[in-house]
Amino acid sequence: MSPPPGACRPCPRAYAPWLLSLAATLLLAVGAALAQWDLESILSRAEQRYGELGAAKSRLGDWGRLLEQGGTLDEAAKLRAVNDFFNRSLRFTDDIEIWQQEDYWATPVEALVKGAADCEDYAIAKYVTLRRLGVASDKLRITYVKALRLNQAHMVLTWYASPGADPLVLDNLIGEIRPASQRDDLLPVYAFNAEGLWLPGPDGGRRTGDSKKLSRWQDLLTKMRAEGLDLDAPKED
């Protein structure tokens, strides 16, 4: 039976150790800057891997323009633009259909080439893009939740105006960005960013420390670098 549209497939490993590994590898993302992101180079590498891109070339071009022009927006507008872009550009599809794997973490380029994404791919793409647009990592958390009405594991991106604030939720299930206090359909389980791991609770949750193990996120960062992307690459003014 297929999962409801937009929700992740139920997984017995829902709260498995990879959640810890995500935080650790995010920590490693804060390293030395590498090359500039270059859209032509990214497109060239994508064509070498996938062949003729077709409609994907337009999606990648639109993403490139968002990266180039979105930096002038205020932070609230950046959140809206990025959330709307990926929700509009990608259709929800299960990993097994896209990648023939039960759980595959796609880079933003991979997702845009396919024009399809699982819930974690939406959250990752939004995180990467907002980081590139200058949103501080400590305001962003990749948050693993349970979608209560669907009884499904799910992943969203959350943005905190301040550490103890009611975060805003960027989701592919509901396109409108809403405060977490208005999303009673989501039960938070864990949250991550480059600074570590949080458990849910008042005032932004409880930080439980930093993870040291590598995970799919490390593989994702490696794939991104091979595509010509690096989270900490300098951006031209």
56 φ, ψ to 5°? -65, -30
Res 91 pLDDT > 90: yes
CATH architecture observed for domain 18-226? Roll (3.10)
Q: Which residue has the higher pLDDT, 198 or 104?
A: 104
Structure tokens given for 235? 């951006």
Res 14 pLDDT > 60: no
Res 29 pLDDT > 50: no
Res 20 pLDDT > 60: no
Indicate yes or no: pTM above 0.85: no
Res 159 pLDDT > 70: yes
The edge-to-edge listing of strands for the beta sheet with 206-209 is: 178-179, 168-170, 152-159, 140-147, 186-193, 196-199, 206-209
